[in-house]
Amino acid sequence: QVQLIESGGGLVQAGGSLRLSCAASGRTFSIYAMGWFRQAPGKEREFVARITWTRGGSSLYADSVKGRFTISRDNAKNMVNLQMNSLKPEDTAVYYCAASRGLGAFTEPDYWGQGTQVTVSS
């Protein structure tokens, strides 16, 4: 079992920044990749970013956040962070941390956090 706890959500003005964190506990040795999804009201859940636990890490971003968001990891703390800059109102959503045991696509994570609200005002 793996537990994921998100933190860092909040309310910011357009153009501002937030930093989300996700701490993993339990059988963390089974994790291959960790990342973030988000879901806005009335919309489907969408992929945001992920990073693998391989040497150096391999990062992947959704086109909508490239150049604005940066994902990073802290192996010693079993933690991933998402630095979100130049935030837009359309970034408003509940952000969910996720972790996967698989080696392939990050489409069906095995573990989910409870979510943290990010609201960007215009």
pLDDT at residue number 19: 98
Q: Residue 76: its pLDDT value, please?
A: 86
Look at residues 28, 25, 21, 29 and name the one whose alpha carbon lies nearest to residue 3. Answer: 25
Q: Which residues contact 73 (CB under 8 A, 6 or more apart)?
A: 34, 51, 53, 57, 79, 80, 81
- Residue-level pLDDT at 105: 72
Q: What is the pLDDT of residue 103?
A: 73
Q: What residues in the chain have per-residue pLDDT under 50?
A: none
For β-strands 10-13 and 116-121, DSSP reports them as parallel
Tokens for 41? 């009201």
pLDDT for position 75: 85
